[in-house]
Structures are given as structure tokens and as C-alpha cells.
């Protein structure tokens, strides 16, 4: 468990955050720039001191202003990967990694060779950071943090300085480390795409406060949290399983609570579980089932809730056999279709709206994840 109840002031910025959640898998801190994500992680790491409060990890108190407890960073056993890596430029990759290995002290150590193999660093060991790409540097930074044998790994926007190609290089390694080593992580980001791909628990922050925390699927399906999750990126996260592959048309058939979804072929075996995200803007609605359409996914649903604010667009939460979907349509269409909570509809989802290149393993089971683009 991660428990934080802290308050601090940084210039004109005031942070008062309370959080209690399991550290299984990846806990993601999400919010706009300036929400207080990095400040909160720095207090957890011991790099910033709260004015008051308490911090505990798995029952061990790291900070308690009332009891006078304030463990130094090196005693907290928390690995930290910064946005820019912060490798020692005069050291080879091997020596950078060994720096973390030596910091593990007498605690049980993660095997050096295993970390090198997991991160694909074998051919870089004798090179210096100046000769590495941004993605390669972040892999070394991950390895150095892991070899210090942390109880919890903190990643503060580790992909923010990378281009998309380098991000796609590093993301699978983060997933692989999570699944292979079982080390819990706190991942800071303002990219919902990264959050949906990696996170198990989502923590939403705004103006120095934790506004909501819980399972990723639950929080991303709530209409009231759209101002925090981002309206443009809004969508539902659902779980499905691969039931078959259609080799003739290069499609995969996924079963979820609402029926079958056909998507561009995913490289996952039959029976594999998938977590996929379908954005609200990629869902159209019909009152009657279309007889002839290019759209492959026609899912019977019921309108569960509708956004109430004024404007040309309306967001609707749909119940698809127990799974939550979102749709974003015009207010004109809401009126034309006479939609209201309880109205039966058909959700129309283009197969190509679910990007087959954005795949990853779900925590702990070798499952995969697909993100609608």
C-alpha cells in the first residue's frame, strides 16, 4: 500500500494531497502540467519535504511530521527515473549500471545479467551515454534504478523528452519489467495514451490535490471526470479476449461483455486477454441496426447517462452488456434520435479506429492492450 497525506507550499503553489492505494502493477499520476504530480513524487522520494503529513509504503513510515520521522532518500529504497535520465556522462553504461548495483547494499539483489538482458543493453555496456539515443539512455536509467533493488520504482515522465519512435522503443521495456520482475511502479505522465497503455490504478490530480483514485477502467468511464481525463481524449477502457483470427481479411475477433468486436489483427494468441480503449469520438449511434454498412462493429447498447453542459456536442455513457462505452455526437443528433437515459441504441465502431500497433501486456498475466487511435 502507498499512503500519503501531505501538505506543502512551493512559492505560490499549494499542495494538499491525500492518497491511499495498492501498489500492485503501475499506479499512474495523471494531470495537466502544474497539477502537482512531480512535487508529490519528490516528497515520496525524499527529494522534497512536506510541511506536514505522513508518507508510508507497505506499512513502513518514511515521513511523519508529528513523530519526527523523515528518512533520507537513500534509506527509502525507492528507485527514481527522471525525465532526462541523469546518467553519469564520464562513465560507461556498465559503470552506470554498477552504480545502482552497489547501492543495493545488503538487500537481496536483482541479477545484473538479467536486468541487462531484459532491457536489451548487452551491446551498449562499454559505450558512454553521449553515444546513446534518448531511448537507449532511458533504458540504462531504468536498469540503474532497478539494480538498486527498490521496493517501489518512481518514473517521472520518463518519455516526455522522446520522439514517438523512441517512446515506442521504451514502452515495451517498461511493460516487460513490470511483468517479469513484479516491482510496483508509480508512473507520472500527462499523456493519456501512455496512462491507458500502462496503468492499473489511476490517480487524477488537479491544482495540488488528488481528485480521484481507482481502477483505470472505472475512472475513465466516468462522465464527471472528463475535465480531468481530457475531453478530446475521453473514451472507455474495456477488457476483451481474442476468440479467433480471420487470416483472409487480417482481422481479430475479440469477445467482451457487449458481444464481439472485429479489429485489425492483433499479435496475440487465441484466448489472450486484451485491454482496449475506444474513444468517444470514434463511436456513432443509431436507433435501428444498419442493414448494410462498412462499419464492422455494431453493438447493442442502452444510454445510461448524458452530459448536461451546453454546447454543440454531447457525451453519452452507454451500457453494452455491462461494459461501459462512450459516444460523442452532436446535440442535433441527440434531438433527431430522441435520445435520453434508458434509450436502446446501436453503437457503431469502425474497426480501423482501434490501432493494432498500440499493443502491450496487461499487468501480471501476459495480457495485451490495444489503444484506439
What pLDDT does 365 receive? 45
Closest by CA position to 110, among listed 151, 139, 60, 69 = 151
What pLDDT does 199 receive? 86
Give the Cα separation of 21 and 204 in Å (integer).
13
What pLDDT does 233 receive? 63
pLDDT digits (tens, 9 = 90+) for 177-219: 887 788 889 999 988 888 888 888 999 999 999 999 998 888 8
CA distances from 205 to 42, 109, 313 (A): 15, 34, 26
How many CB atoms within 10 Å of residue 190? 18
End-to-end, the C-alpha distance of the chain in Å comes to 33
More confident residue, 257 or 358: 257
What pLDDT does 294 receive? 93
Give the Cα separation of 373 and 172 in Å (integer).
18
How confident is the prediction for the chain on average, in pLDDT?
87
List the helix and strand counts (H, then E) for the chain: 9, 22
- Greatest extent of the chain over all pairs of C-alpha atoms, in Å: 70
Query: For residues 34-68, b (16+ Cβ closer than 10 Å) or e, as one string?
Result: ebbbbbbbbbbbbebebeebbbbbeeeebbbbeee
User: What's domain 235-372's architecture?
Assistant: Beta Barrel (2.40)
The CATH classification number of 2-220 equals 3.40.50.300
How many CB atoms within 10 Å of residue 287? 12
Please compute the mean of the pLDDT values over residues 331-345 and round it to a whole number. 96
Please compute the mean of the pLDDT values over residues 257-266 and round it to a whole number. 92
Query: Kind and range of the H or E element at 181?
Result: helix 164-181
The neighbouring-strand residues paired with 80 are 154
CB 119 within 8 A of CB 100: no
What pLDDT does 108 receive? 58
Please compute the mean of the pLDDT values over residues 19-26 and round it to a whole number. 88
pLDDT digits (tens, 9 = 90+) for 285-320: 999 999 889 999 999 999 999 988 788 999 999 999
Report helix, strand or coil for 258: coil
CB 37 within 8 A of CB 29: yes
Cell numbers that stand for 316 in this block: 453519452
More confident residue, 71 or 279: 71
Is a pLDDT exceeding 60 seen at residue 358? no
Is a pLDDT exceeding 50 seen at residue 357? no
pLDDT digits (tens, 9 = 90+) for 97-147: 988 777 766 665 678 888 899 899 999 999 999 989 888 999 999 999 988
More confident residue, 95 or 169: 95
Residues of the chain with CATH 3.40.50.300: 2-220
Residues of the chain with CATH 2.40.50.100: 235-372
Query: Kind and range of the H or E element at 317?
Result: strand 313-320
Amino acid at each position: 500500500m502507498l499512503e500519503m497525506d501531505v501538505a506543502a507550499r512551493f512559492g505560490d503553489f499549494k499542495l494538499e494531497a491525500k492518497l491511499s492505494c495498492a501498489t500492485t502493477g503501475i499506479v499512474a499520476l495523471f494531470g495537466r502540467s502544474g497539477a502537482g504530480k512531480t512535487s508529490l513524487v519528490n516528497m515520496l522520494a525524499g527529494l522534497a519535504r512536506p510541511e506536514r503529513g505522513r508518507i508510508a509504503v507497505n506499512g513502513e513510515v518514511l515521513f511523519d511530521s508529528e513523530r519526527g520521522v523523515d528518512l533520507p532518500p537513500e534509506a527509502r529504497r525507492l528507485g527514481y527515473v527522471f525525465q532526462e535520465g541523469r546518467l553519469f556522462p564520464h562513465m560507461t553504461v556498465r559503470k552506470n549500471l554498477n552504480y545502482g548495483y552497489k547501492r543495493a547494499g545488503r538487500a537481496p539483489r536483482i541479477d545484473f545479467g538479467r536486468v541487462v538482458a531484459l532491457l536489451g543493453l548487452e551491446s551498449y555496456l562499454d559505450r558512454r551515454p553521449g553515444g546513446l539515443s534518448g531511448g537507449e539512455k532511458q533504458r540504462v536509467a531504468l536498469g540503474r534504478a532497478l539494480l538498486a533493488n527498490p521496493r517501489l520504482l518512481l518514473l517521472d515522465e520518463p518519455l516526455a523528452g522522446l520522439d514517438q519512435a523512441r517512446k515506442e522503443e521504451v514502452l515495451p521495456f517498461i511493460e516487460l519489467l513490470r511483468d517479469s520482475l513484479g516491482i510496483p511502479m508509480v508512473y507520472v505522465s500527462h499523456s493519456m495514451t501512455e496512462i491507458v497503455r500502462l496503468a492499473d490504478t489511476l490517480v487524477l490530480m488537479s491544482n495540488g490535490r488528488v481528485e480521484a483514485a481507482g481502477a483505470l477502467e472505472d475512472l475513465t468511464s466516468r462522465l464527471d471526470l472528463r475535465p480531468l481525463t481530457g475531453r478530446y481524449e475521453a473514451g472507455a477502457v474495456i477488457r476483451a479476449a481474442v476468440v479467433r483470427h480471420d487470416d483472409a481479411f487480417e482481422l481479430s475477433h475479440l469477445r467482451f461483455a457487449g458481444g464481439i468486436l472485429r479489429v485489425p489483427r492483433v499479435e496475440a494468441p487465441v484466448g489472450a486477454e486484451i485491454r482496449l480503449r475506444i474513444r468517444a469520438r470514434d463511436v456513432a449511434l443509431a436507433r435501428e441496426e444498419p442493414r448494410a454498412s462498412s462499419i464492422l462493429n455494431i453493438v447493442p447498447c442502452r444510454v445510461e447517462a448524458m452530459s448536461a453542459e451546453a454546447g454543440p456536442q454531447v457525451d453519452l455513457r452507454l451500457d453494452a452488456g455491462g461494459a461501459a462505452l462512450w459516444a460523442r455526437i452532436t446535440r442535433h443528433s441527440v434531438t433527431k434520435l430522441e435520445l435520453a437515459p434508458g434509450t436502446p441504441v446501436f453503437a457503431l465502431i469502425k474497426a480501423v479506429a482501434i490501432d493494432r500497433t498500440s499493443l502491450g501486456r496487461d499487468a501480471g498475466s501476459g495480457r495485451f492492450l490495444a489503444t484506439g487511435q
